[in-house]
């Protein structure tokens, strides 16, 4: 099968984020099974084509533009038109509508799949507490919605995201198929992992990793930490990820300000390559991911795959990955006392913590990359066999739905 994945983000282009991680591991797995796989990504440099792990990666330079989303989608459509063979499947996220132009007039025989990530309007709402009302926000939302509606198939990593998007964009729920995100973190990076940083050796610590931004609830964790660090004088806290602004200053500065008496027990690292992240996860007691809302974070699956309980939030995709009280703990979002209490309970019973670590590892088996990607491939085959555009794309995939 000829498959093309569209993703502005791609790890080897020094991009970060869940879309980049998902695209790379999915493309790599499909290529290893003998499929012809292209990835169209964005580069800050020149046009380039290269082969990585059997995947043909086509980099399109980011050019100055007054209408970057539309021009980007037009550039993507031109690349797709010039592929040596017409793609059987083209897949893109709804975020920033990279396949919008292609959706307007795609070749006969090609099936366009939109994979829901998180609509731009929701990202903005979580970071600013406001839904965008300007012309640009309206245009972005419109383009994302039209691309999704014009797709032959729509997939979502979680039912929580599918329900939200269907309600916002008035899409029939039966058009969306839940296909989980897969993980192979422990297997892939264990043999090439870096050493644990010297300052963490012999320490007990919790870890947060991912972007340090408001929608990830990092400010909530900053407020919960003093009580936890006071209760456990030997405990340290690790943050790994790029830092965003919060209330006029960096979130790193805010965390340090809220934990002024515990500066020597806070450790900050930039966004790390997976080989460098591996030892930090391996040495942690648990991961803390207190997002205000989350689709299905790669960070959650990577922590589970490493056998680390995850303390996360209810009302979003975390509830579909974490078994509360078994493989992790779930608390209401933006609730500082609830997060404090969950961490105190988790750390107070080391026997329970060990049991939850085993359950976390077992839970990750439901999200193994090979199993999930096989379900995605089955979905592709169903779309090709169906041969009719815009019909409901419901397909029960028991193997990908734990």
**pLDDT tens sequence across 221-231:** 999 999 999 99
Retrieve residue 265's tokens.
């027990």
Q: pTM of the entire structure?
A: 0.90
For the cut 60, the answer to whether the pLDDT of residue 190 exceeds it is yes
Q: Say how far apart CA 122 and CA 131 lie, in whole Å.
A: 7
Whether residue 150 contacts residue 112, with contact meaning beta carbons closer than 8 Å, is answered with: yes
Retrieve residue 191's tokens.
């043999």
Decide yes or no: CATH 3.40.50.2000 for domain 191-366.
yes
For the cut 50, the answer to whether the pLDDT of residue 389 exceeds it is no
Q: Say how far apart CA 293 and CA 188 lie, in whole Å.
A: 28
Q: Say how far apart CA 132 and CA 122 lie, in whole Å.
A: 9
- Sequence-separated (6 or more) residues with CB below 8 Å from residue 167: none
pLDDT in the model for residue 94:
95
CB neighbours (10 Å) of residue 103?
A: 22
Q: With cut-offs at 50, 70 and 90, classify the pLDDT of residue 118.
A: confident
Annotation: CATH topology of 2-182+369-396: Rossmann fold (3.40.50)
For the cut 50, the answer to whether the pLDDT of residue 393 exceeds it is no
For residue 130, the 8-state DSSP code is S
For the cut 50, the answer to whether the pLDDT of residue 400 exceeds it is no
Q: Say how far apart CA 87 and CA 363 lie, in whole Å.
A: 35
CB neighbours (10 Å) of residue 282?
A: 15
Q: Say how far apart CA 303 and CA 277 lie, in whole Å.
A: 11
Q: With cut-offs at 50, 70 and 90, classify the pLDDT of residue 394.
A: very low
Q: Say how far apart CA 351 and CA 116 lie, in whole Å.
A: 39
Counting residues of the chain whose pLDDT is more than 90, the rounded percentage is 79
Integer CA distances (angstroms), 120 to 114, 132, 243, in order: 15, 9, 20
Whether residue 111 contacts residue 152, with contact meaning beta carbons closer than 8 Å, is answered with: yes
Delimiting residues of CATH 3.40.50.2000 domain(s) in the chain: 2-182+369-396, 191-366
Q: With cut-offs at 50, 70 and 90, classify the pLDDT of residue 125.
A: confident
Distance of CA 131 to the CA centre of its chain: 22
Whether residue 309 contacts residue 287, with contact meaning beta carbons closer than 8 Å, is answered with: yes
pLDDT in the model for residue 391:
41
Retrieve residue 100's tokens.
């919008």
pLDDT in the model for residue 13:
62
Q: Say how far apart CA 92 and CA 114 lie, in whole Å.
A: 5
pLDDT in the model for residue 54:
97
pLDDT in the model for residue 132:
52
Helices (H) then strands (E): counts for the chain: 14, 16
């Amino acid at each position: 099968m000829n498959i093309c994945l569209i993703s502005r983000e791609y790890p080897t282009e020094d991009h970060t984020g869940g879309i980049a991680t998902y695209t790379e591991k999915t493309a790599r797995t499909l290529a290893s099974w003998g499929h012809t796989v292209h990835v169209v990504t964005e580069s800050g440099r020149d046009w380039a084509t290269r082969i990585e792990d059997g995947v043909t990666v086509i980099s399109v330079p980011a050019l100055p533009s007054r209408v970057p989303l539309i021009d980007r989608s037009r550039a993507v459509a031109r690349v797709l038109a010039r592929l040596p063979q017409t793609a059987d499947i083209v897949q893109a996220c709804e975020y920033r509508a990279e396949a919008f132009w292609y959706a307007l007039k795609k070749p006969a025989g090609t099936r366009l799949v939109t994979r829901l990530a998180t609509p731009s309007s929701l990202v903005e709402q979580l970071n600013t507490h406001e839904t965008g009302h300007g012309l640009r926000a309206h245009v972005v939302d419109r383009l994302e919605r039209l691309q999704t509606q014009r797709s032959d198939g729509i997939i979502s990593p979680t039912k929580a995201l599918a329900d939200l998007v269907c309600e916002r964009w008035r899409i029939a729920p039966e058009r969306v198929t839940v296909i989980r995100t897969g993980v192979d973190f422990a297997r892939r990076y264990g043999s090439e992992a870096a050493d644990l940083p010297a300052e963490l050796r012999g320490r007990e610590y919790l870890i947060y990793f991912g972007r340090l931004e408001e929608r990830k609830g990092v400010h909530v964790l900053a407020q919960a930490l003093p009580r936890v660090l006071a209760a456990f004088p030997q405990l340290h806290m690790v943050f790994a990820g790029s830092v965003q602004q919060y209330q006029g200053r960096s979130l790193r500065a805010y965390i340090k300000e809220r934990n002024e008496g515990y500066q020597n027990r806070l450790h900050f690292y930039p966004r790390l390559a997976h080989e460098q992240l591996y030892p930090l996860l391996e040495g942690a007691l648990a991961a803390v991911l207190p997002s205000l809302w989350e689709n299905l974070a790669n960070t959650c699956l990577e922590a589970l795959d490493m056998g680390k309980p995850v303390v996360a939030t209810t009302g979003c995709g975390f509830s579909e990955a974490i078994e509360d009280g078994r493989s992790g703990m779930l608390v209401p979002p933006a609730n500082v006392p609830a997060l404090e209490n969950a961490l105190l309970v988790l750390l107070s019973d080391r026997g329970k913590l060990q049991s939850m670590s085993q359950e976390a590892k077992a839970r990750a088996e439901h999200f193994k990359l090979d199993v999930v990607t096989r379900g995605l491939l089955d979905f592709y085959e169903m779309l090709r066999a169906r041969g009719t555009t815009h019909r409901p794309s419901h397909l029960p995939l028991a193997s990908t739905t734990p």
